[in-house]
Amino acid sequence: EIVLTQSPGTLSLSPGERATLSCRASQSISSSYLAWFQQRPGQAPRLLIYGASTRATGVPDRFSGSGSGTDFTLTISRLEPEDFAVYYCHQSNYSPRTFGQGTKVEIK
Partner 1 sequence: QVQLQESGPGLVKPSETLSLTCTVSGGSISSSYWSWIRRPPGKGLEWFGFIYYSGNTNYNPSLRSRVTISLDMSKNQFSLKLTSVTAADTAVYYCARGMSAFSAFDIWGQGAMVTVSS
For the CB of residue 15, give the shortest distance to partner 1 in the complex, in Å. 26
Q: What are phi and psi of 2, to 5 degrees?
A: -80, 125
**Phi-psi domain of 70 (left: phi exceeds 0; alpha: psi -120 through 50; beta: other):** alpha
**Interacting residue ranges for partner 1, rule: CB under 8 A:** 1, 32-33, 35, 37, 43-47, 50, 56, 88, 90, 92-93, 95-102
- Which CB sits closer to partner 1, 17 or 22? 22
Q: What angle do CA 82, 83, 85 make, to 5 degrees?
A: 105
Residue 24 vs 102, nearer CB to partner 1: 102
The least CB distance from residue 43 to partner 1, in Å, is 8
Query: Parallel, antiparallel, or unpaired for β 103-107 and 54-55?
Result: unpaired
Q: Which is nearer to partner 1, 1 or 61 (CB)?
A: 1
Task: Determine the length of the chain.
Answer: 108
Q: How far is the CB of 8 from partner 1 (least distance, A)?
A: 15
Minimum distance from residue 21 beta carbon to partner 1 (Å): 14
Residues 6+ apart with CB under 8 A from 93: 2, 29, 30, 32, 33, 34
Measured from the CB atom, the residue of 15 and 51 that comes closer to partner 1 is 51
